[in-house]
Amino acid sequence: MGFDVNTIFQIAGIGIILSMIHTILKQMGKEDVAHWVTLIGFVVILFMVASFVNDLFQEIQRVFLFH
């Protein structure tokens, strides 16, 4: 389980881009669309984190259960 720092930078980059898009859409008066964009970005990041958690559990299982 190699720890990949690039994924952390990807998550941070997605967050920065989403905040910019959210701010722009909110200033344009399209708050509903801004909230949807933020929600979709959150789901994408959640899947990325879920992948990390899955890798962590696999590594714990490998270490402690000798599989």
Tens of pLDDT, residue by residue over 7-54, are 889 999 999 999 999 999 999 999 999 999 999 999 999 999 998 899
Residue reference for tokens 């930078």: 9
Write out the two tokens for 45.
């990041």
Looking at the 3D structure of the chain, how many domains does it have?
A: 1
Closest CA to 1 of 66, 38, 52, 65: 52
Instruction: Specify whether the backbone of 29 is left (phi greater than 0), alpha (psi in -120 to 50) or beta.
Output: left
Return the structure tokens found at 6: 């690039």
Distance of CA 63 to the CA centre of its chain: 27
Q: With bands split at pLDDT 50, 70 and 90, how would you rate the model's confidence at 66? A: low
Q: Which of 55, 57, 59, 58 is nearest to 7 (CA)?
A: 55
State which residues form the domain around 15.
5-65
